[in-house]
Amino acid sequence: MTSQMIRELKYQKMKKFLRGRHGTMIDILLWLLWVNNVVDVPSVKSVKLIKDTIQRLCGIRSIPYEGALGHRYYVNSLPDIIQQEMMNPRVRPLLHFYPEDTGVELNEARQAKCWLEELDPELLTPVVRLHNQDFFVFEPALLLSGQACIPFQWFICGGKMCTKAWSLQPVTRELDCGWVVEDFHSFEVSEDDLLVSFRNWDSSEATSGLPRAYSIYGVEHELNGKLQPWTLTNPSEGNQWCVRASGARVYAMPLWLYCDDTSGNLSKKWNKHNSFLFTAAGLPRAEVHQEYNVHFLCTLNLAPPLEMLDGIVDQLEESWKQGIWAWDCVHEEYVLVIPSILALLVDNPMQSEMACHIGSMGKYFCRICKVKGHDATYTTDAPPKSTRKRAKETMEEMATRVKQFVKIGEPRHKDETIAELKSMFIHASTVRNQTQIKQRKTSTGIKDTFLDSFLNRLAESYCKIRGGNKAKQEALDRVKETLPENVISPVWRIKVLLGFVKYLWRDVVSVRIGKDKLKRELLETRLSSVDVSGLGLSHLAGHTLVQYAGSLVGRDFRAIAQVAPFVLHDLVPTECYDTWVALSNLIPLIWQPEIENSMEHLRNLTTSINNFLACTARSTPRWFNKPKFHVLLHVVDHIRRFGPAALFATEAFESFNAVIRAKSIHSNHRTPSRDIAHSFAHGSRICHILSGARILMHDNDTNDIHSDSPELIQASNPSSDKPPDAINVKVVGKGPLSLVQQPNIITDYLGLDTHADTKKYGHNFRTCKSMVLFNGDVCKIGDWVLIADGTAEQSPIVACIREIIQRQGLDADNLLRPDAILLERGSVGEPAASYSMPAVRAHGGFLLYPVEQILCAANLQHQCRVHKCTSLASDVEFVYEEQAKTSKAKAVIHHIGDPDDLVLNTARMQDAKHMQGLRVPIQPQDMNLAILEGAAREIWTRNDTTGGASTTSIIAAAHGPRAQGRQVNRSLQQHQSVLQVQ
Ligand SMILES: *[C@@H]1O[C@H](CO)[C@@H](O)[C@H](O)[C@H]1NC(C)=O
Ligand SMILES: *[C@@H]1O[C@H](CO)[C@@H](O)[C@H](O)[C@H]1NC(C)=O
Ligand SMILES: *[C@@H]1O[C@H](CO)[C@@H](O)[C@H](O)[C@H]1NC(C)=O
C-alpha cells in the first residue's frame, strides 16, 4: 500500500469510528495514538476491561440512591474512600486525630474545646494501645497505684496520651464483690500510670484480691446515693468496638463535610449544582487544604442538599454498625475504622437550610441564637436607604434594637428546633392550617425546605384520608420518623465572614463617595499605587475595585481590608474612616491561623470585635439589620469550640468546584450525578495506584486481566463483622511509579505535587535581588521584614532589607539559601495619628542576620495623610497590558514630605501572630454611648433630609464632619434624657 492509501484508510476508519456516537475520551485518545502509528494500541474493549479490573481491585463504588423527594442521585462510597486512605502511605501516617489539650495553643481543630468536651469519645479515640495492651474507653483498667478506674476520654497532654477516668470503688454485696462507678469523681490519668487493661485483668497478678473487672454494680451520682444501672457497655463483654474488632486495632476517623453550590459562569449549560465533599480532620492544618486530600461524595443540580445528605448519612450509619475494615499500610494489617462528621461546612444561605432555619430574612435571623432583628427586614444586599416607606423608628426604638443586636441572644437548641418543627407537623395534621404554619415560621425563625416538601405532601394526603384523627395521626407519625435526629452544627466559612467587608465597601463607593468624580479617581489611584509588598498580593486594580464594587469576590475583600486605612483618609467622614480602621484591626485576628495563647487571643479578639461594632454603631445604626454583622459576636465562641477560623477557609474546596464543573462538561447531562461520581472514582483509582498505595488481591484476581469476562464484581462488603480473608498485598511496580517521580503534567493533574515550594526556591538567589523566607514569603531588597529578637518576650524587630549576601561557587544545596542578610533597623515609635498602627522609621543602624531568623515579611506604608500626598498630573505610569508596555498612562500617588515617615501595617493578615506585640492596643469604647451617637446622627440626618434638603446621601460629607458633629451632639443631648428616664 502506498502511504496515500494508508492515510485514506485511516481517514475512512476515523469517520466510521466517530459516526453515530459521542466519542468518549478513551476512544479519541486511542484513535490519536493509532493514527500516529503507535504500535500495540489496545482496543477500546480491553482498556475498559482493565479499567473494570482496577475498579474492582481498588476502586470506589458509586452508589445510587432514590432520594426522599424523588430525585435519583449517586454517592461515592464513603467506606471505599476511607479504605483507600488507610492504604495510602502518602496520607495514612497523617490521619491521627487525638484531641489535644495544650491549654494555650490553638493551631488545629483537634486542639479546640469542642472535640474534647462535646463529641462522643468513642468517635474520637475509642482505644489506645499502650504497653502491648488495648485500653478501650468505658472499660475498667487498673492503675499502678492499685486504684481501678474507667477511662472515658483520651487526649494528648504534654506529648503523652492521657485519659479522663471515673473512679471505681470495690463494694461487697452479700458474698459477692464488684465495682461501683463514681461518675462524679473523674480524674486524669497519664499513659504511664496504666497497668492492666480489661482484657488482661484475669491473667494479671496485680488484680488478685480485687473484684472481677466485669462485675459492675452500677453508677453512683453525687447527690442521691442511689445506684443507676451502667449502660455504656455490656460489662461482661467490654467495649462494643473491641468485640467487633476481635483483636484488631480500632481507629476513629473524624471528617469535615463540606457542602456548596457549585454555580459558575463557565458555561450556559452549567446550572447550580449542590455538591458534597470531605477531608479527614486528622490531617495537619497544612494538609487539610491540599486538593489531593479533598474527596468527592456527590453532586446533583436538582436535589436539595438535605436530600443528598440523607444518602451520606445512610452510609455513615451503616458504617457505625460494624465499622469499616481497612488495610492499614502503616502496620500492614487489617484495622477497624469508625468515621464520623466533626462539622459540616456550608455556605450561609444553605447553612440555614441545614440548621432548619428560615435564613437571614426572618425576624430572628441568627442561626445560633434568638436575637431579634427589625420587624420589617431588608431583602436586598444593597446598602439600606433612609427613604424606606415604613413607619419611622423613634430614636429610642432604634437604640434599643441596636443594643439587642450587639448582644448574643439566648442560644438555639437542637431539641427546641426539632420540637418546633414537630409542632408544625401537628398543625399540618389538620387541613387548612397552612397559613398558621407560615406565621409560625416567621415568628420563630425556624424553617426547613426539606421538611416543607413533606408538610406539603402531608397536606395533600389529607384530602384523601377519610378516617378520623387516628388515621391522620398515623400519617403524621410516619413523617415524624423521617426527621433527622441530629442537626449537625454548621461552621462559618471565610466567605460568610467577609460579608460585612462587602457591605462596608459598597457603602464607601456608592454612598460616601457616590458620584463625586474627583474622589472616585483619587480612590482608584490610591488603590492602584498602594505598596502591597509583604502582603502576598499582586498590585491592586484600583479601577476594578471601585467600578465593580458590587461584584467583588473574597480575595478582593481580603485585599481591601488590609489597605483600607491607607486609601480612605479624607475621602469619607471620620466615623466611617474609624470603622475601617477598626475593621483592619479586627480582620487579621479573626483569621489568625496559629494561636499561641488562646485565652489571651480570644480576649483580644473580643475587644477588637466590640470596638468594631461600636465604631459601626457610631457611624450609622443602619447596618444593624445585617446578620453578617451580628454573626461576628459568635466568632469568639466558634473559634474556641472549633479552632482557628482559617481552618474553615475552605479555598481548596472552592477550587474543587472548577474540577466538578469540568467533569460535568464531559457528561452527556442525562445522568450528571452518576457521570461525575464515576469520573471522580476513576481519578481516585489512578491517584491511589500512583501514590504507591496498597492493592489487595486474591490469587485469582491477576488472571482476570487476561480473561474476557468484563463483569463487575463488587468489592468485599466493608461493613461486615469479620475482616476480609487473607490476601496478597501488592504495590504498583516501579515503571508506573516512575511516571510521577518528577513533577509533570500527571502529578499536577492528580494533585500529587505537594512540594510546590521547591519550585519557588532556586530562582533568584544568584542575583540576590530577592529571596524566599522560611515561611515562603518572597522578599526583595527594600522590602521590610520582622526578625525574631532572640528573647521570646520581646516584640520582633522591624527592619528593611538592604542587601542579600551570597558567596559564589557553593554546591547546589547551599545555593538555596543566602548566607546573610544586611538589614537596616527601624525604630518603632508612637502610634501614628488616626491609623491606630505604630509609626516606624529606618534609623541607620545596620544588622547582619541569617535568613532563619527572619520571621516574615512586613508591609509598611508612607504616612500620606500627614504629608498630604496627592496624585499630580505629571506623575504617571505606563500601563502594562498582556505584559507589554502600552502608551496608556495612569496616575500614581506622589509621596511628598519625609519619605521615611512610615507606618507598620498591622492589618496584614499573614503571620498575624508575629505582629501581636507590635499592634497598638485598643481603647475600649462605651458601646451604649456609641449606639446613642449613631442613632442621634441617624435621626438628625433623617430630619434633615425630610426637611427638604435635596441630598439623599446619608451623613453627607457636604455638611463636614464638624458641623455634623455639633448637630449630633445637640440631638444627642435632647434624646439622652429620654433614654435615662426609661
Ligand atoms: C390547626 O392545628 C391545630 C393543632 O393541631 C388545631 O388545634 C387547629 O384546629 C387547626 N386549625 C384549623 C383551622 O384546622
Ligand atoms: C477467587 O477464589 C476464591 C476461592 O477460590 C473465590 O471465593 C473468589 O470468588 C474468587 N475471586 C474471584 C474474583 O474470582
Ligand atoms: C493581646 O493584645 C496585646 C495588646 O495589643 C498584645 O500585647 C498581646 O500580645 C496580645 N496577645 C495575644 C495572645 O495576641
Which carries the bigger pLDDT value, residue 698 or residue 292?
292
- Indicate the burial class of 306 (C-beta count within 10 angstroms; 0-12, 13-18, 19 or more): buried
Report the 10 Å Cβ neighbour count for 662. Answer: 12
> Within this chain, do residues 132 and 53 fall inside the same structural domain, yes or no?
no
CATH code where residue 906 lies = 2.30.30.490
Report the 10 Å Cβ neighbour count for 618. Answer: 26
Which carries the bigger pLDDT value, residue 373 or residue 137?
137
- Average pLDDT, stretch 85-92? 88
Confidence at residue 366, expressed as pLDDT on a 0 to 100 scale: 46
Query: With a 6 A CB cut-off, is 433 part of the ligand 1 pocket?
Result: yes
Query: With a 6 A CB cut-off, is 700 part of the ligand 2 pocket?
Result: yes
Confidence at residue 546, expressed as pLDDT on a 0 to 100 scale: 92
Query: With a 6 A CB cut-off, is 321 part of the ligand 1 pocket?
Result: no
Q: Which ligand is closest in space to the CA of residue 696?
A: 2
> Within this chain, do residues 475 and 374 fall inside the same structural domain, yes or no?
yes
Query: With a 6 A CB cut-off, is 471 part of the ligand 1 pocket?
Result: no
Confidence at residue 712, expressed as pLDDT on a 0 to 100 scale: 35
> Which residues neighbour 734 within 8 Å (Cβ) at sequence distance 6 or greater?
none
pLDDT digits (tens, 9 = 90+) for 190-214: 999 999 999 999 898 888 888 888 8
Q: How far apart are CA 800 and CA 806, in angstroms?
A: 18
C-alpha cell at 406: 450587639
In the reported structure, the alpha carbon of residue 484 is separated from the centroid of ligand 3 by a whole-number distance in angstroms of: 43
Confidence at residue 53, expressed as pLDDT on a 0 to 100 scale: 83
- Average pLDDT, stretch 374-403? 53
> Within this chain, do residues 45 and 167 fall inside the same structural domain, yes or no?
no
Question: Nearest to residue 907, comparing CAs of 550, 537, 613, 660?
Answer: 537
Best of 104, 585, 604 to mutate for ligand 3, by most ligand atoms within 8 A of CB?
Answer: 604
Least confident window among 167-171, 408-412, 501-505, 836-840: 408-412
Which carries the bigger pLDDT value, residue 228 or residue 62?
62
Q: Which ligand is closest in space to the CA of residue 726?
A: 2
Closest-CA residue, ligand 3 atom 4, reads: 921
In the reported structure, the alpha carbon of residue 601 is separated from the centroid of ligand 3 by a whole-number distance in angstroms of: 7
Confidence at residue 194, expressed as pLDDT on a 0 to 100 scale: 94
Query: With a 6 A CB cut-off, is 466 part of the ligand 1 pocket?
Result: no
C-alpha cell at 148: 481501678
- Average pLDDT, stretch 100-107? 77
- Average pLDDT, stretch 843-859? 88
Confidence at residue 694, expressed as pLDDT on a 0 to 100 scale: 85
CA angle 882, 886, 889 (to 5 degrees): 120
- Average pLDDT, stretch 598-626? 88
Confidence at residue 441, expressed as pLDDT on a 0 to 100 scale: 63
457: in domain: yes
> Which residues neighbour 752 within 8 Å (Cβ) at sequence distance 6 or greater?
90, 292, 687, 690, 691, 740, 746
pLDDT digits (tens, 9 = 90+) for 235-250: 888 888 888 888 889 9
Which alpha helices (H) appear in 289-387, and where do they start and end?
305-322, 348-354
Query: With a 6 A CB cut-off, is 701 part of the ligand 2 pocket?
Result: yes
- Average pLDDT, stretch 145-172? 90
Burial 840-873 (b: 16+ CB within 10 A, else e): bebeeeeeebebebbbbbbbbbbbbbbeebebee
Burial 943-969 (b: 16+ CB within 10 A, else e): ebbeeeeeeebbbbbebeeeebbebbe
Q: Are 259 and 341 in contact (CB under 8 A)?
A: no
Among 452, 467, 493, identify where a domain stops.
Answer: 493
pLDDT digits (tens, 9 = 90+) for 571-593: 999 999 999 999 999 999 988 88
Q: How far apart are CA 685 and CA 706, in angstroms?
A: 20
Confidence at residue 666, expressed as pLDDT on a 0 to 100 scale: 63
Pick left, alpha or beta for residue 674 (phi over 0 → left; psi -120 to 50 → alpha; otherwise beta): alpha
47: in domain: yes
Ligand 3 atom closest to Cα of 913?
Answer: 14
Give the range of the structural domain holding residue 12, as residue numbers without chain letter. 3-58
770: in domain: yes
C-alpha cell at 699: 490469587
In the reported structure, the alpha carbon of residue 50 is separated from the centroid of ligand 2 by a whole-number distance in angstroms of: 18
Which carries the bigger pLDDT value, residue 855 or residue 352?
855
317: in domain: no
For 194-245, what is the HEC assignment? EEECHHHCCCCCCCCCCCCCCCEEEEECCCCCCEECCCCCECCCECHHHHHH
Q: What is the DSSP letter of 645?
A: G
DSSP 862-911: E-HHHHT-EEEEEEEEEEEETTEEEEEEEEEEE--S-TT-EEE-TT--TT
Closest-CA residue, ligand 3 atom 14, reads: 601
Residue 791's pLDDT band (cuts 50, 70, 90): low
371: in domain: yes
Confidence at residue 715, expressed as pLDDT on a 0 to 100 scale: 42
Q: Which ligand is closest in space to the CA of residue 423?
A: 1
377: in domain: yes
Please check the confidence at residue 893 and state whether its pLDDT lies above 50. Answer: yes
Best of 102, 598, 600, 786 to mutate for ligand 3, by most ligand atoms within 8 A of CB?
Answer: 600
DSSP 114-136: HHHHTS-HHHH-SEEEETTEEEE
Q: How far apart are CA 941 and CA 922, in angstroms?
A: 29
Ligand 3 atom closest to Cα of 921?
Answer: 5
Ligand 1 atom closest to Cα of 429?
Answer: 5
Residue 648's pLDDT band (cuts 50, 70, 90): low
Identify which of 263-272, 758-767, 814-823, 825-834 has the greatest average pLDDT: 825-834
Please check the confidence at residue 264 and state whether its pLDDT lies above 60. Answer: no
Confidence at residue 114, expressed as pLDDT on a 0 to 100 scale: 66
Please check the confidence at residue 467 and state whether its pLDDT lies above 90. Answer: no
Which carries the bigger pLDDT value, residue 846 or residue 776?
846
Q: What is the DSSP letter of 106?
A: B
Confidence at residue 81, expressed as pLDDT on a 0 to 100 scale: 93
Residue 530's pLDDT band (cuts 50, 70, 90): very high
Which carries the bigger pLDDT value, residue 690 or residue 267?
690
CA-CA-CA-CA torsion for 206, 209, 212, 218, nearest 10 degrees? Answer: -110
Q: Are 342 and 119 in contact (CB under 8 A)?
A: yes
pLDDT digits (tens, 9 = 90+) for 342-363: 766 765 445 444 443 333 334 4
669: in domain: no
C-alpha cell at 886: 502600552
* 275: β partners: 260, 299
Q: How far apart are CA 41 and CA 537, in angstroms?
A: 48
Ligand 2 atom closest to Cα of 56?
Answer: 13
428: in domain: yes
Which carries the bigger pLDDT value, residue 662 or residue 773?
773
> Which residues neighbour 501 within 8 Å (Cβ) at sequence distance 6 or greater?
557, 560, 561, 583, 587
Query: With a 6 A CB cut-off, is 714 part of the ligand 2 pocket?
Result: no
Query: With a 6 A CB cut-off, is 104 part of the ligand 3 pocket?
Result: no
DSSP 814-878: HHTS-SEEEEEEEEEEEEETTTTEEEEEEEEEEEEE-GGGEEEEE-EEE-HHHHT-EEEEEEEEE
Confidence at residue 583, expressed as pLDDT on a 0 to 100 scale: 93
Question: Nearest to residue 266, comparing CAs of 552, 679, 660?
Answer: 660
pLDDT digits (tens, 9 = 90+) for 952-969: 333 333 334 444 444 545
Please check the confidence at residue 150 and state whether its pLDDT lies above 90. Answer: yes
> Which residues neighbour 411 within 8 Å (Cβ) at sequence distance 6 or greater?
368, 369, 370
- Indicate the burial class of 561 (C-beta count within 10 angstroms; 0-12, 13-18, 19 or more): buried
Q: Are 764 and 770 in contact (CB under 8 A)?
A: yes
Query: With a 6 A CB cut-off, is 724 part of the ligand 2 pocket?
Result: no
> Within this chain, do residues 481 and 354 fall inside the same structural domain, yes or no?
yes
> Which residues neighbour 56 within 8 Å (Cβ) at sequence distance 6 or greater?
701, 704, 712, 713, 714, 715
- Average pLDDT, stretch 318-342? 86
In the reported structure, the alpha carbon of residue 433 is separated from the centroid of ligand 1 by a whole-number distance in angstroms of: 6
> Within this chain, do residues 367 and 483 fall inside the same structural domain, yes or no?
yes
In the reported structure, the alpha carbon of residue 328 is separated from the centroid of ligand 2 by a whole-number distance in angstroms of: 23
Identify which of 69-83, 114-128, 410-424, 813-827 has the greatest average pLDDT: 69-83
- Average pLDDT, stretch 1-25? 59
In the reported structure, the alpha carbon of residue 80 is separated from the centroid of ligand 2 by a whole-number distance in angstroms of: 20
Confidence at residue 494, expressed as pLDDT on a 0 to 100 scale: 43
Please check the confidence at residue 497 and state whether its pLDDT lies above 80. Answer: no
Please check the confidence at residue 414 and state whether its pLDDT lies above 50. Answer: no
pLDDT digits (tens, 9 = 90+) for 741-761: 777 777 777 766 654 444 334
Query: With a 6 A CB cut-off, is 713 part of the ligand 2 pocket?
Result: yes
Query: With a 6 A CB cut-off, is 916 part of the ligand 3 pocket?
Result: yes
Confidence at residue 536, expressed as pLDDT on a 0 to 100 scale: 82
Output phi, psi for 143, to 5 deg: -95, 160
Confidence at residue 119, expressed as pLDDT on a 0 to 100 scale: 66
Output phi, psi for 4, to 5 deg: -60, -45
Q: Which ligand is closest in space to the CA of residue 607?
A: 3
Closest-CA residue, ligand 1 atom 6, reads: 427
Query: With a 6 A CB cut-off, is 597 part of the ligand 3 pocket?
Result: yes
Query: With a 6 A CB cut-off, is 56 part of the ligand 2 pocket?
Result: no
Among 449, 468, 493, identify where a domain stops.
Answer: 493
Query: With a 6 A CB cut-off, is 598 part of the ligand 3 pocket?
Result: no
In the reported structure, the alpha carbon of residue 911 is separated from the centroid of ligand 3 by a whole-number distance in angstroms of: 14
Query: With a 6 A CB cut-off, is 43 part of the ligand 2 pocket?
Result: no
Its pTM surpasses 0.85: no
Q: What is the DSSP letter of 515?
A: T
Q: How far apart are CA 642 and CA 877, in angstroms?
A: 47
- Average pLDDT, stretch 547-572? 87
Share the mean pLDDT of the chain.
74
- Indicate the burial class of 644 (C-beta count within 10 angstroms; 0-12, 13-18, 19 or more): buried
Among 438, 470, 493, identify where a domain stops.
Answer: 493
User: Percentage of the chain with pLDDT > 90?
Assistant: 17
Q: How far apart are CA 745 and CA 602, in angstroms?
A: 44
Question: Nearest to residue 546, comparing CAs of 581, 574, 571?
Answer: 571
Q: What is the largest CA-CA distance in the chain?
A: 107
Ligand 2 atom closest to Cα of 700?
Answer: 1
Q: Which ligand is closest in space to the CA of residue 425?
A: 1
CA angle 156, 160, 161 (to 5 degrees): 60
Best of 433, 437, 458 to mutate for ligand 1, by most ligand atoms within 8 A of CB?
Answer: 433
Which carries the bigger pLDDT value, residue 47 or residue 366?
47
Q: What is the DSSP letter of 283?
A: S
Closest-CA residue, ligand 1 atom 3, reads: 427
Please check the confidence at residue 913 and state whether its pLDDT lies above 80. Answer: yes
- Indicate the burial class of 98 (C-beta count within 10 angstroms; 0-12, 13-18, 19 or more): middle
If one counts the domains in the chain, the total is: 4
Q: Are 78 and 297 in contact (CB under 8 A)?
A: yes
Q: Which ligand is closest in space to the CA of residue 793?
A: 3
CA distances from 552 to 174, 201, 549, 577 (A): 77, 65, 6, 21
C-alpha cell at 608: 477588637
> Within this chain, do residues 131 and 233 fall inside the same structural domain, yes or no?
yes
Residue 145's pLDDT band (cuts 50, 70, 90): very high
> Within this chain, do residues 480 and 357 fall inside the same structural domain, yes or no?
yes
Element (H, E) at 425: helix 414-428
